[in-house]
Amino acid sequence: MFISNAYAQSAIGGPGGGLMSFLPIILMFVVLYFLMIRPQMKRQKEQKAMIDALAKGDEVITAGGILGKVTKVTEAYVTVEVADGTEVVMQKASVTMLLPKGTIKSI
């Protein structure tokens, strides 16, 4: 009389319960895409376009912090003049930034 009957609950939890339980995970992936993955892909595309557009006479900064003027460009390598008569051969991927013309005065 004092104890009521106990009934088992359904495993799904009602109509649409399966999709609603995955909604927070789906929202986290959407936020992750727009905050991290998409901007990184955009930066990679801009970096590749800059490397493909390297030409003789461009002033660049390398990954090691070396400033210089491009004197020769091949398919995979670039030759950078860092001082009068001093040239360094490096991979194109090590060029991180293209400077405006006339930035480096000493070369």
Full-prediction pTM beyond 0.75?
no
Is 34 found in the same domain as 48? yes
- Is residue 107 included in any domain, yes or no? no
CATH number, residue 95:
2.30.30.60
Owning domain of residue 67: 55-99
- Is residue 105 included in any domain, yes or no? no
pLDDT tens digits, 4-13: 777 766 555 5
In this prediction, residue 19 carries a pLDDT of 76
For residue 72, give every residue at least 6 positions away whose Cβ sits within 8 Å of its Cβ, in sequence order, or none. Answer: 56, 78, 79
What b/e readout covers 41-79, taking b as 16+ CB neighbours within 10 angstroms? eeeeeeeeebbeeeeeebbbbbeeeebbbbbebeeeebb
- Is residue 8 included in any domain, yes or no? no
Looking at the structure of the chain, the number of domains it has is 2
Q: How does residue 20 score in pLDDT terms, banded at 50, 70 and 90? A: confident
- Is residue 104 included in any domain, yes or no? no
